[in-house]
Structure 1
Amino acid sequence: MTKVLVLYYSSYGHVEQMADAVAEGARAAGAEVDIRRVAETAPEAVVKGAGFKTDTAHPVIESPEVLAGYDAIVVGAPTRFGRMPSQMAAFWDTAGGLWARGALNGKVGAAFTSTASQHGGQETTLFSTLTNLLHFGMTIVGLDYGFAGQMGVDKVRGGAPYGATTIAHSDGSRQPDADELEGARYLGRRVATTAAKLFA
Protein backbone atom coordinates (compact mmCIF):
# COMPACT_ATOMS: atom_id res chain seq x y z
CA MET A 1 0.00 0.00 0.00
CA THR A 2 1.24 3.49 -0.90
CA LYS A 3 2.28 5.53 2.15
CA VAL A 4 1.54 9.26 2.10
CA LEU A 5 2.56 11.87 4.66
CA VAL A 6 0.66 15.15 4.92
CA LEU A 7 3.06 17.53 6.69
CA TYR A 8 1.81 20.98 7.62
CA TYR A 9 2.13 24.11 9.69
CA SER A 10 -0.97 26.12 10.54
CA SER A 11 -1.27 29.30 12.61
CA TYR A 12 -5.04 29.72 12.62
CA GLY A 13 -6.42 26.38 11.43
CA HIS A 14 -6.99 27.04 7.74
CA VAL A 15 -4.05 24.94 6.57
CA GLU A 16 -4.96 22.28 9.14
CA GLN A 17 -8.40 21.94 7.53
CA MET A 18 -6.78 21.65 4.12
CA ALA A 19 -4.39 18.99 5.48
CA ASP A 20 -7.34 16.91 6.63
CA ALA A 21 -8.91 17.22 3.17
CA VAL A 22 -5.66 16.25 1.39
CA ALA A 23 -5.51 13.18 3.62
CA GLU A 24 -9.13 12.29 2.81
CA GLY A 25 -8.36 12.40 -0.89
CA ALA A 26 -5.26 10.25 -0.57
CA ARG A 27 -7.12 7.68 1.55
CA ALA A 28 -9.94 7.59 -1.00
CA ALA A 29 -7.32 6.58 -3.57
CA GLY A 30 -6.25 3.66 -1.39
CA ALA A 31 -3.21 5.13 0.35
CA GLU A 32 -2.18 4.74 3.96
CA VAL A 33 -1.95 8.33 5.25
CA ASP A 34 -0.38 10.00 8.27
CA ILE A 35 -0.83 13.66 9.18
CA ARG A 36 1.93 15.43 11.08
CA ARG A 37 2.67 19.06 11.86
CA VAL A 38 5.99 20.80 12.32
CA ALA A 39 6.86 22.35 15.65
CA GLU A 40 5.90 25.91 16.52
CA THR A 41 9.02 28.07 16.72
CA ALA A 42 7.43 31.44 17.50
CA PRO A 43 7.85 32.64 21.09
CA GLU A 44 4.94 31.78 23.39
CA ALA A 45 4.14 35.47 23.87
CA VAL A 46 3.73 35.86 20.10
CA VAL A 47 1.59 32.71 19.86
CA LYS A 48 -0.74 33.96 22.58
CA GLY A 49 -0.74 37.58 21.46
CA ALA A 50 -1.59 36.68 17.86
CA GLY A 51 -4.21 34.14 18.87
CA PHE A 52 -2.60 31.16 17.12
CA LYS A 53 -4.62 27.95 17.20
CA THR A 54 -2.86 25.57 19.58
CA ASP A 55 -5.35 22.69 19.87
CA THR A 56 -4.95 20.02 17.21
CA ALA A 57 -5.43 16.29 16.82
CA HIS A 58 -2.20 15.91 14.85
CA PRO A 59 1.14 15.17 16.54
CA VAL A 60 4.37 17.01 15.81
CA ILE A 61 6.63 15.09 13.41
CA GLU A 62 9.34 13.24 15.30
CA SER A 63 12.30 14.07 13.05
CA PRO A 64 13.19 14.57 9.38
CA GLU A 65 14.28 10.92 9.24
CA VAL A 66 10.61 9.93 9.31
CA LEU A 67 10.19 11.34 5.78
CA ALA A 68 12.24 8.52 4.26
CA GLY A 69 9.53 6.02 5.16
CA TYR A 70 6.92 7.51 2.84
CA ASP A 71 6.30 7.21 -0.89
CA ALA A 72 4.80 10.71 -1.07
CA ILE A 73 4.90 13.88 1.02
CA VAL A 74 2.35 16.69 0.70
CA VAL A 75 3.50 19.88 2.40
CA GLY A 76 1.14 22.61 3.56
CA ALA A 77 1.94 26.00 5.08
CA PRO A 78 0.51 29.51 5.05
CA THR A 79 2.32 32.34 3.35
CA ARG A 80 4.67 34.67 5.14
CA PHE A 81 5.22 37.63 2.87
CA GLY A 82 5.13 35.48 -0.25
CA ARG A 83 7.18 32.53 0.95
CA MET A 84 7.17 29.45 3.16
CA PRO A 85 6.97 30.42 6.86
CA SER A 86 10.00 30.01 9.12
CA GLN A 87 8.42 27.15 11.06
CA MET A 88 8.28 24.95 7.96
CA ALA A 89 11.61 26.20 6.60
CA ALA A 90 13.30 25.41 9.92
CA PHE A 91 12.14 21.81 9.69
CA TRP A 92 13.45 21.34 6.15
CA ASP A 93 16.71 23.04 7.12
CA THR A 94 17.35 20.12 9.50
CA ALA A 95 16.84 17.52 6.75
CA GLY A 96 20.26 17.85 5.11
CA GLY A 97 21.15 14.27 5.95
CA LEU A 98 18.26 13.02 3.84
CA TRP A 99 19.41 15.20 0.95
CA ALA A 100 23.01 14.03 1.27
CA ARG A 101 22.10 10.39 0.87
CA GLY A 102 19.29 10.94 -1.66
CA ALA A 103 16.69 9.45 0.68
CA LEU A 104 13.79 11.30 -0.95
CA ASN A 105 14.89 10.95 -4.59
CA GLY A 106 11.97 9.91 -6.78
CA LYS A 107 9.32 10.21 -4.08
CA VAL A 108 6.21 12.23 -4.93
CA GLY A 109 5.82 15.74 -3.54
CA ALA A 110 3.07 18.35 -3.60
CA ALA A 111 2.11 21.56 -1.79
CA PHE A 112 -0.85 23.54 -0.48
CA THR A 113 -1.17 26.93 1.18
CA SER A 114 -3.39 29.66 2.62
CA THR A 115 -3.17 33.41 2.11
CA ALA A 116 -5.09 36.41 3.40
CA SER A 117 -6.06 37.60 -0.08
CA GLN A 118 -6.38 36.27 -3.61
CA HIS A 119 -3.14 38.01 -4.54
CA GLY A 120 -1.35 37.47 -1.24
CA GLY A 121 1.48 35.27 -2.44
CA GLN A 122 -0.18 31.92 -3.04
CA GLU A 123 1.90 30.98 -6.05
CA THR A 124 5.23 32.20 -4.68
CA THR A 125 4.58 30.35 -1.42
CA LEU A 126 3.79 27.18 -3.34
CA PHE A 127 6.95 27.68 -5.41
CA SER A 128 9.09 28.14 -2.29
CA THR A 129 7.75 24.83 -1.01
CA LEU A 130 8.07 23.00 -4.32
CA THR A 131 11.60 24.34 -4.76
CA ASN A 132 12.60 22.62 -1.53
CA LEU A 133 10.98 19.36 -2.63
CA LEU A 134 12.72 19.49 -6.01
CA HIS A 135 16.08 19.97 -4.31
CA PHE A 136 15.38 16.81 -2.33
CA GLY A 137 14.87 14.98 -5.63
CA MET A 138 11.13 14.62 -5.48
CA THR A 139 8.69 14.21 -8.39
CA ILE A 140 6.17 17.07 -8.24
CA VAL A 141 2.40 16.79 -8.63
CA GLY A 142 0.32 19.95 -8.98
CA LEU A 143 -3.38 20.76 -8.91
CA ASP A 144 -3.98 20.15 -12.59
CA TYR A 145 -6.91 21.61 -14.46
CA GLY A 146 -8.77 18.34 -14.14
CA PHE A 147 -9.99 20.07 -11.00
CA ALA A 148 -12.42 22.58 -12.47
CA GLY A 149 -13.25 24.09 -9.08
CA GLN A 150 -10.27 26.42 -9.37
CA MET A 151 -11.70 28.05 -12.49
CA GLY A 152 -13.99 31.06 -12.74
CA VAL A 153 -14.36 34.50 -11.22
CA ASP A 154 -17.89 34.19 -9.92
CA LYS A 155 -16.71 34.10 -6.30
CA VAL A 156 -13.57 34.11 -4.19
CA ARG A 157 -11.73 30.96 -5.27
CA GLY A 158 -8.54 29.33 -4.10
CA GLY A 159 -6.53 26.94 -6.23
CA ALA A 160 -3.54 27.19 -8.52
CA PRO A 161 -1.99 24.74 -10.96
CA TYR A 162 0.93 24.48 -8.52
CA GLY A 163 -1.12 23.29 -5.53
CA ALA A 164 -4.32 23.55 -3.53
CA THR A 165 -5.01 26.86 -1.78
CA THR A 166 -7.51 28.67 0.39
CA ILE A 167 -8.05 32.34 1.19
CA ALA A 168 -8.46 33.32 4.84
CA HIS A 169 -9.10 37.11 4.69
CA SER A 170 -6.85 39.47 6.62
CA ASP A 171 -8.61 38.73 9.93
CA GLY A 172 -8.77 34.97 9.34
CA SER A 173 -12.56 35.01 9.30
CA ARG A 174 -13.00 33.22 5.97
CA GLN A 175 -12.76 29.45 6.22
CA PRO A 176 -11.92 27.02 3.39
CA ASP A 177 -15.04 26.57 1.27
CA ALA A 178 -16.37 23.42 -0.36
CA ASP A 179 -14.48 23.98 -3.63
CA GLU A 180 -11.17 24.63 -1.88
CA LEU A 181 -11.53 21.55 0.31
CA GLU A 182 -12.43 19.49 -2.75
CA GLY A 183 -9.32 20.86 -4.47
CA ALA A 184 -7.26 19.63 -1.53
CA ARG A 185 -8.94 16.20 -1.78
CA TYR A 186 -8.26 16.14 -5.52
CA LEU A 187 -4.58 16.92 -4.87
CA GLY A 188 -4.40 14.14 -2.30
CA ARG A 189 -5.93 11.66 -4.75
CA ARG A 190 -3.53 12.71 -7.53
CA VAL A 191 -0.53 12.35 -5.24
CA ALA A 192 -1.63 8.91 -4.05
CA THR A 193 -2.43 7.57 -7.53
CA THR A 194 0.81 8.96 -8.97
CA ALA A 195 2.86 7.39 -6.18
CA ALA A 196 1.05 4.07 -6.60
CA LYS A 197 2.00 4.02 -10.29
CA LEU A 198 5.61 4.98 -9.62
CA PHE A 199 6.10 2.40 -6.89
CA ALA A 200 4.00 -0.42 -8.36
Structure 2
Amino acid sequence: MNVLIVYYSMYGHIHAMAQAVAAGVAEVDGASALIRRVPETLPDEVLAKMGALEAQKAQAHVPVCTVEELAKADAIIFGTPTRFGNMCGQMRQFLDSTGQLWMQGALVGKAGSVFASSATQHGGQESTILTFHVTLLHQGMVVVGLPYAYQGQMGVEEVKGGSPYGATTIAGGDGSRLPSDADLAGARWQGRHVAQIAKKLVG
Protein backbone atom coordinates (compact mmCIF):
# COMPACT_ATOMS: atom_id res chain seq x y z
CA MET A 1 0.00 0.00 0.00
CA ASN A 2 1.44 3.36 -1.01
CA VAL A 3 0.72 6.75 0.48
CA LEU A 4 1.59 9.73 -1.70
CA ILE A 5 2.67 12.94 0.03
CA VAL A 6 2.29 15.90 -2.31
CA TYR A 7 3.53 19.27 -1.09
CA TYR A 8 4.74 22.75 -1.93
CA SER A 9 7.25 24.47 0.34
CA MET A 10 8.72 27.87 -0.41
CA TYR A 11 11.10 28.16 2.57
CA GLY A 12 11.36 24.53 3.69
CA HIS A 13 8.84 24.39 6.56
CA ILE A 14 6.31 22.22 4.74
CA HIS A 15 9.13 20.09 3.33
CA ALA A 16 10.20 19.30 6.90
CA MET A 17 6.61 18.49 7.84
CA ALA A 18 6.29 16.24 4.78
CA GLN A 19 9.28 14.22 5.94
CA ALA A 20 7.67 13.80 9.37
CA VAL A 21 4.41 12.70 7.73
CA ALA A 22 6.36 10.13 5.71
CA ALA A 23 7.99 8.83 8.91
CA GLY A 24 4.53 8.31 10.39
CA VAL A 25 3.35 6.43 7.31
CA ALA A 26 6.37 4.13 7.56
CA GLU A 27 5.28 3.07 11.06
CA VAL A 28 2.32 1.16 9.58
CA ASP A 29 3.05 -2.38 8.43
CA GLY A 30 2.83 -2.71 4.67
CA ALA A 31 2.66 1.04 4.07
CA SER A 32 5.24 3.02 2.13
CA ALA A 33 5.47 6.78 1.65
CA LEU A 34 6.34 8.55 -1.57
CA ILE A 35 7.16 12.27 -1.32
CA ARG A 36 6.55 14.52 -4.33
CA ARG A 37 6.49 18.29 -4.80
CA VAL A 38 4.22 20.22 -7.12
CA PRO A 39 5.73 22.25 -9.96
CA GLU A 40 7.13 25.68 -9.14
CA THR A 41 5.40 28.50 -10.98
CA LEU A 42 7.72 31.37 -10.03
CA PRO A 43 10.92 32.14 -11.95
CA ASP A 44 14.27 31.97 -10.15
CA GLU A 45 14.62 35.75 -10.23
CA VAL A 46 11.43 36.17 -8.22
CA LEU A 47 12.34 33.38 -5.80
CA ALA A 48 15.74 35.04 -5.25
CA LYS A 49 14.08 38.38 -4.41
CA MET A 50 11.82 36.56 -1.94
CA GLY A 51 14.82 34.89 -0.30
CA ALA A 52 13.49 31.44 -1.24
CA LEU A 53 15.90 30.32 -3.97
CA GLU A 54 18.26 28.42 -1.66
CA ALA A 55 15.35 26.57 -0.02
CA GLN A 56 14.07 25.62 -3.46
CA LYS A 57 17.47 24.31 -4.51
CA ALA A 58 17.62 22.23 -1.31
CA GLN A 59 14.44 20.46 -2.45
CA ALA A 60 15.57 19.88 -6.03
CA HIS A 61 16.17 16.18 -5.32
CA VAL A 62 12.44 15.65 -4.66
CA PRO A 63 10.72 14.56 -7.89
CA VAL A 64 7.91 16.70 -9.26
CA CYS A 65 4.53 15.00 -8.93
CA THR A 66 2.58 13.92 -11.98
CA VAL A 67 -1.21 13.72 -12.14
CA GLU A 68 -0.91 10.01 -12.95
CA GLU A 69 0.78 9.36 -9.59
CA LEU A 70 -2.35 10.58 -7.78
CA ALA A 71 -4.45 7.88 -9.43
CA LYS A 72 -1.94 5.15 -8.52
CA ALA A 73 -1.76 6.06 -4.83
CA ASP A 74 -3.86 4.36 -2.16
CA ALA A 75 -3.98 7.57 -0.10
CA ILE A 76 -2.80 11.14 -0.64
CA ILE A 77 -1.63 13.62 1.98
CA PHE A 78 -1.22 17.19 0.76
CA GLY A 79 0.98 19.87 2.32
CA THR A 80 0.71 23.58 1.57
CA PRO A 81 1.70 26.93 3.04
CA THR A 82 -1.10 29.40 3.68
CA ARG A 83 -1.71 32.25 1.27
CA PHE A 84 -4.31 34.67 2.62
CA GLY A 85 -6.23 31.83 4.26
CA ASN A 86 -6.07 29.53 1.25
CA MET A 87 -3.67 27.05 -0.31
CA CYS A 88 -0.73 28.47 -2.27
CA GLY A 89 -1.06 29.18 -6.00
CA GLN A 90 1.39 26.42 -6.95
CA MET A 91 -0.80 23.80 -5.28
CA ARG A 92 -3.98 25.29 -6.72
CA GLN A 93 -2.57 25.21 -10.24
CA PHE A 94 -1.54 21.57 -9.83
CA LEU A 95 -4.95 20.55 -8.53
CA ASP A 96 -6.63 22.44 -11.34
CA SER A 97 -4.88 20.05 -13.74
CA THR A 98 -6.66 17.00 -12.27
CA GLY A 99 -9.94 17.44 -14.13
CA GLN A 100 -9.41 14.20 -16.05
CA LEU A 101 -9.09 12.28 -12.78
CA TRP A 102 -12.36 13.84 -11.63
CA MET A 103 -14.10 12.78 -14.84
CA GLN A 104 -12.80 9.23 -14.42
CA GLY A 105 -13.59 9.08 -10.69
CA ALA A 106 -9.98 8.00 -10.23
CA LEU A 107 -9.65 9.36 -6.68
CA VAL A 108 -13.05 8.26 -5.36
CA GLY A 109 -12.73 6.33 -2.11
CA LYS A 110 -9.09 7.17 -1.45
CA ALA A 111 -8.11 8.64 1.90
CA GLY A 112 -7.12 12.30 1.59
CA SER A 113 -5.59 14.59 4.19
CA VAL A 114 -3.95 18.02 4.48
CA PHE A 115 -1.25 19.70 6.58
CA ALA A 116 -0.25 23.35 6.38
CA SER A 117 1.87 26.23 7.63
CA SER A 118 1.50 29.96 8.07
CA ALA A 119 3.71 32.85 9.10
CA THR A 120 1.68 33.72 12.20
CA GLN A 121 -0.21 31.77 14.83
CA HIS A 122 -3.58 32.88 13.50
CA GLY A 123 -2.59 33.18 9.86
CA GLY A 124 -5.36 31.11 8.31
CA GLN A 125 -4.10 27.57 8.88
CA GLU A 126 -7.54 26.19 9.66
CA SER A 127 -9.28 27.95 6.76
CA THR A 128 -6.54 26.75 4.42
CA ILE A 129 -7.07 23.12 5.37
CA LEU A 130 -10.87 23.37 5.42
CA THR A 131 -11.06 25.01 2.01
CA PHE A 132 -8.57 22.44 0.69
CA HIS A 133 -10.98 19.72 1.88
CA VAL A 134 -13.54 21.05 -0.60
CA THR A 135 -11.33 19.94 -3.49
CA LEU A 136 -10.85 16.50 -1.92
CA LEU A 137 -14.61 16.10 -1.51
CA HIS A 138 -15.20 17.05 -5.15
CA GLN A 139 -12.77 14.28 -6.07
CA GLY A 140 -14.74 11.84 -3.92
CA MET A 141 -11.96 11.31 -1.40
CA VAL A 142 -12.45 10.23 2.22
CA VAL A 143 -11.26 13.21 4.25
CA VAL A 144 -9.02 12.40 7.23
CA GLY A 145 -7.97 14.96 9.82
CA LEU A 146 -5.93 14.99 13.02
CA PRO A 147 -8.36 13.92 15.77
CA TYR A 148 -7.94 14.81 19.42
CA ALA A 149 -6.80 11.23 19.94
CA TYR A 150 -3.50 12.95 19.20
CA GLN A 151 -3.16 14.72 22.54
CA GLY A 152 -0.12 16.70 21.43
CA GLN A 153 -2.34 19.45 20.06
CA MET A 154 -3.84 20.04 23.49
CA GLY A 155 -2.42 22.45 26.05
CA VAL A 156 -1.08 25.98 25.91
CA GLU A 157 2.35 25.47 27.42
CA GLU A 158 4.02 26.50 24.16
CA VAL A 159 3.26 27.97 20.76
CA LYS A 160 2.38 25.05 18.50
CA GLY A 161 0.38 24.16 15.45
CA GLY A 162 -2.20 21.46 14.95
CA SER A 163 -5.99 21.28 14.88
CA PRO A 164 -8.61 18.58 14.30
CA TYR A 165 -8.30 19.42 10.60
CA GLY A 166 -4.61 18.61 10.25
CA ALA A 167 -1.07 19.16 11.45
CA THR A 168 0.34 22.66 11.06
CA THR A 169 3.41 24.69 11.87
CA ILE A 170 4.13 28.39 12.36
CA ALA A 171 7.05 29.89 10.44
CA GLY A 172 7.19 33.22 12.26
CA GLY A 173 6.94 36.62 10.63
CA ASP A 174 10.43 36.36 9.14
CA GLY A 175 10.28 32.62 8.51
CA SER A 176 12.97 31.86 11.09
CA ARG A 177 10.87 29.55 13.27
CA LEU A 178 11.37 25.94 12.22
CA PRO A 179 8.75 23.26 12.92
CA SER A 180 8.89 22.39 16.62
CA ASP A 181 9.06 18.88 18.04
CA ALA A 182 5.34 19.16 18.80
CA ASP A 183 4.56 20.22 15.22
CA LEU A 184 6.58 17.36 13.76
CA ALA A 185 5.00 14.88 16.18
CA GLY A 186 1.57 15.95 14.94
CA ALA A 187 2.66 15.44 11.35
CA ARG A 188 3.99 11.96 12.17
CA TRP A 189 0.76 11.06 13.95
CA GLN A 190 -1.27 12.26 10.97
CA GLY A 191 0.83 10.22 8.54
CA ARG A 192 0.37 7.09 10.62
CA HIS A 193 -3.36 7.75 11.09
CA VAL A 194 -3.98 8.22 7.36
CA ALA A 195 -2.00 5.08 6.52
CA GLN A 196 -3.97 3.04 9.05
CA ILE A 197 -7.29 4.23 7.60
CA ALA A 198 -6.08 3.72 4.02
CA LYS A 199 -5.05 0.17 4.90
CA LYS A 200 -8.61 -0.57 6.05
CA LEU A 201 -10.10 1.02 2.94
CA VAL A 202 -7.80 -0.92 0.62
CA GLY A 203 -8.43 -4.13 2.56
TM-score between the two structures when normalised by the length of structure 1: 0.97
SS of alignment partner, residue 116 of structure 2? strand
Give the corresponding residue for 1:45.
45
Letter in 2 for 1:6: I
Letter in 2 for 1:103: A
Aligned counterparts, 1:1-200, within 5 A:
2-30=1-29, 31-52=31-52, 53-54=55-56, 55-56=58-59, 57-61=61-65, 63-200=66-203
SS of alignment partner, residue 87 of structure 2? coil
Partners of 2:79 and 2:49 lie apart in 1 by: 23
Partners of 2:201 and 2:33 lie apart in 1 by: 17
**Contact 1:158 1:167 survives alignment (8 Å):** yes
The CA deviation at 1:43 is 2.6
Partners of 1:64 and 1:170 lie apart in 2 by: 33
RMSD between aligned residues: 0.8
Letter in 2 for 1:129: F
Partners of 2:143 and 2:105 lie apart in 1 by: 16
Letter in 1 for 2:95: W
Partners of 1:188 and 1:152 lie apart in 2 by: 22
The CA deviation at 1:197 is 0.6
The CA deviation at 1:134 is 1.0
Identity of aligned residues (%): 52
Q: 1:34-89: CA deviations, max 9, x gaps? A: 0000011013221111111112131111x212111011000000000100010000
**Contact 1:10 1:78 survives alignment (8 Å):** yes
SS of alignment partner, residue 26 of structure 2? helix
SS of alignment partner, residue 79 of structure 1? strand
The CA deviation at 1:33 is 1.1
The CA deviation at 1:128 is 2.1
Gaps of 5+ in 2: none
Partners of 1:84 and 1:163 lie apart in 2 by: 14
TM-score between the two structures when normalised by the length of structure 2: 0.95
Partners of 2:40 and 2:122 lie apart in 1 by: 26
Partners of 1:151 and 1:131 lie apart in 2 by: 26
Q: 1:85-114: CA deviations, max 9, x gaps? A: 100000000000000010000000000000
**Contact 1:27 1:33 survives alignment (8 Å):** yes
